[in-house]
């Protein structure tokens, strides 16, 4: 069972200036958890997968289960809620009870070092480059245990921003796959610097259109990889347009690269 570790750290390469206060990381322990707790975790996972198209954001239930179980050992029970009708006056007792309920709730999910553990994962595009980097450097199996790898696969399967590939795997001739292909041109934008992925406000970082900067190159690189794979699988489909897109996108990436190799 996975265990959330709070304010802990060891090893010669891990440094801290505050004794790891605020650090949160997950470790897998084969011996951790009661049978009831393990069953509850599986129910959480099954419920999320079943409803993943309606509710796309996790509720951090695994974290809440562990942190609240520890906190409830030291906290009084949360008082019952007070219901006030529209025609009733709000009393000082009702306000005080409501505030105490709110404080008690946040106390139950507060870690022992004082911070509130929470997900800060961002969009799915963070994950593949990390895995690729670990694979290229030869550290993928050193850093990512089999349990890590299984959970990463679970996350990708649950969310699939990779809808195009997922539809192709299910049925290369499906209507869903063809509809994805038909929409691809909507996400390309051409300027004097080359071909890029765009979003609703005109920038090409489609994962966060209202805040992301227009000079990121990750989505353009991902688009190149997708087009190269598509060209290999369907060599006769719109070859001229695809070759032109790839050439211009590569030109854009090369011309925005700094002399030291970075972007």
Distance CA(8)–CA(133), nearest Å, equals 26
pLDDT digits (tens, 9 = 90+) for 27-85: 899 988 899 999 999 999 999 999 888 877 788 888 888 877 665 555 566 677 777 77
- Domain-wise residue ranges, the chain: 2-109, 120-183, 189-262
Name the phi and psi angles at 56, rounded to 5: -90, -15
**pLDDT means over runs of 10, the chain (263 residues):** 87 87 88 90 91 81 79 61 79 87 82 82 66 86 89 79 68 80 64 54 42 58 85 88 86 80 74
Report the length, in residues, of the chain: 263
- H-type helices in the chain, by residue range? 35-50, 61-71, 92-108, 127-137, 140-143, 146-159, 163-170, 175-183, 218-233, 239-256
The structure tokens 């004097």 sit at 192
Mean pLDDT of the chain: 78
pLDDT given for residue 46 in this prediction: 92
**Do the Cβ atoms of 49 and 142 come closer than 8 Å?**
no
| pTM score | 0.57
For the chain, first and last CA: distance in Å? 40
Per DSSP, the three-state class of 14 is coil
Residue 75, pLDDT score? 57
The pLDDT of residue 212: 39
Q: Name 247's Cβ contacts closer than 8 Å, sequence gap at least 6.
A: none
- What's the pLDDT at 168? 73
Q: Could you tell me the two tokens for 147?
A: 């349990």
Query: What integer pLDDT is reported at residue 70 of this predicted model?
Result: 65
pLDDT at 71: 57
Tell me how far CA of residue 234 lies from CA of 168, 169, 175, 237, in angstroms.
12, 14, 17, 6
């Amino acid at each position: 069972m996975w265990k959330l570790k709070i304010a802990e750290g060891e090893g010669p390469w891990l440094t801290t200036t505050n004794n790891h206060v605020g650090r949160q990381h997950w470790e897998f322990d084969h011996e951790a958890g009661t049978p009831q707790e393990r069953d509850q975790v599986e129910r959480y996972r099954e419920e999320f997968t079943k409803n993943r198209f309606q509710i796309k954001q996790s509720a951090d239930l695994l974290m809440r289960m562990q942190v609240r179980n520890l906190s409830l050992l030291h906290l009084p029970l949360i008082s019952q809620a007070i219901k006030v009708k529209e025609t009733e006056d709000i009393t000082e007792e009702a306000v005080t009870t409501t505030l105490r309920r709110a404080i008690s709730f946040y106390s139950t999910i507060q870690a022992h070092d004082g911070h509130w553990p929470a997900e800060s994962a961002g969009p799915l595009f963070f994950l593949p480059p990390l895995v690729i980097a670990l694979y290229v450097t030869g550290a993928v199996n050193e850093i990512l245990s089999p349990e890590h790898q299984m959970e990463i696969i679970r996350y990708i399967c649950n969310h699939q921003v990779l809808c195009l590939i997922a539809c192709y795997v299910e049925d290369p001739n499906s209507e869903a796959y063809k509809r994805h292909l038909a929409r691809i041109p909507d996400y390309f934008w051409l300027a004097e610097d080359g071909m890029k992925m765009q979003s609703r406000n005109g920038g090409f970082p489609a994962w966060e259109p209202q805040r992301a900067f227009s000079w990121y190159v990750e989505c353009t690189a991902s688009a190149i990889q997708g087009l190269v794979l598509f060209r290999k699988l369907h060599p006769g489909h719109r070859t001229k347009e695809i070759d032109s897109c790839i050439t211009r996108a590569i030109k854009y990436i090369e011309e925005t690269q700094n002399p030291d190799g970075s972007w």
